[in-house]
Amino acid sequence: MRAKRTHAKFILPVLATALLGGQALAQPVRTDFGFCNGGATDCTTALGHDSVSVASTLTINEMRAVSFGNVSVTCGMNCDGSAALALGLDGSRNASTTGGDSFILLSGVGGAGAQSPGHYTVEGQNEGGATQVYVSFADNGFNPVDISGDNYHPGASATLMGPGGQTFTMDKFVINESGNDIYGHYIDNRGGGSTPAPGTSNPFNHARAHDSSAVDVVVGATLHTVSGVASYPPGKYTGTFQIMVSY
């Protein structure tokens, strides 16, 4: 009899749990990450980051445009979009190809050809304790274009147009960044005085007074031929892109 009573005490609570199996699934499940939601049997979590920048007196001015210099372009029957010309922050150029197109650097291989990286100055008032300025790029439709090795927007580019309406594309922007984090690529402010901007050299390594939030942005990029273009007539090819700065 005692054995039966003992077993009855154990059995009933267990049986109750089994019959209520559906409701047991709806109870919060505790894991190392806290309680899973809404009936889950397990879960995992990750920390996400969000941000916003409230506008201030941050301004940006173009001191010199991005210029790829003097080149000639050779293609087969038609261009196949395979040639690339990378412009570095120090003004150096590197031509490459994966097909029938090619850039020929004039005025000597890698030498002077009127090329120049872009130069922009950013000034602000260090609002909100900001010590860094984040830089990003977009085409004229404000569609983001990748910077410095990112691959979030493959295929996005700015456009240059010249004689006969022929075009080049421009992407893979690079800047004299101080670093990058989850919020993007940034440049530290100068910290006052006339400290040369990081990564700059002549003609940008100049001494001039700035407030503590002044930043020099040096910009390089990569130029591409476009598939389907019959040929590139001699002349000047120009275009515009958006450079955006924020805290």
Q: Work out which of 23, 45, 96, 107 binds other proteins, going by CB under 8 A.
A: 45
Give yes or no for residue 11 binding other proteins (CB under 8 A): yes
Cα separation, 233 vs 102, in Å, equals: 14
Minimum distance from residue 33 beta carbon to other proteins (Å): 7
How many other CB atoms are there within 10 angstroms of residue 238's CB atom?
10
Q: Can you tell me which of 84, 85, 89, 130 binds other proteins, judged by CB under 8 A?
A: 130
The SS3 of residue 56 is coil
Tell me which stretch binds other proteins (CB under 8 A): 70-78, 105-113, 120-128, 195-203: 120-128
Choose the stretch contacting other proteins; rule: CB under 8 A; options: 88-96, 105-113, 126-134, 191-199: 126-134
Determine if 141 is a binding residue for other proteins (CB under 8 A). Answer: no
d(CA 118, CA 218): 6
Does 230 participate in binding other proteins (rule CB under 8 A)? no
Q: Minimum CB separation from other proteins for residue 25, in Å?
A: 8
- Distance in angstroms (rounded) separating the CA atoms of residues 200 and 208: 14
- Rounded Cα gap, residues 225 and 216, in angstroms: 30
Please pick, from the candidates 89, 111, 122, 182, the single residue that binds other proteins as defined by CB under 8 A.
182
Indicate the pairing of strand 118-123 with strand 59-64.
antiparallel
Beta bridge partners of 4: none
Return the H-helix or E-strand segment holding 179.
strand 179-181
Q: How far is the CB of 1 from other proteins (least distance, A)?
A: 10
Q: In angstroms, what is the minimal distance from the CB of 167 to other proteins?
A: 24
Cis previous bond, 233, omega within 30:
no
Nearer to other proteins, 7 or 208 (CB): 7
Residue 61 touches other proteins, criterion: CB under 8 A: no
DSSP string computed for 180-244: EETTEEEEE---SBTPPPTT--TTS-----B-TT-EEEEEEEEEE--BT-----SS--EE--EEE
The answer to whether 206 and 226 are in contact (CB under 8 A) is no
- When asked if residue 176 is in the footprint of other proteins (CB under 8 A), the reply is no
Which residues of the shown chain bind other proteins in the complex (CB under 8 A)? 3-4, 6-7, 10-11, 14-15, 18, 21, 24-25, 33, 36-57, 125, 127-130, 136, 138, 142, 144, 152, 182-183, 242, 244, 246-247
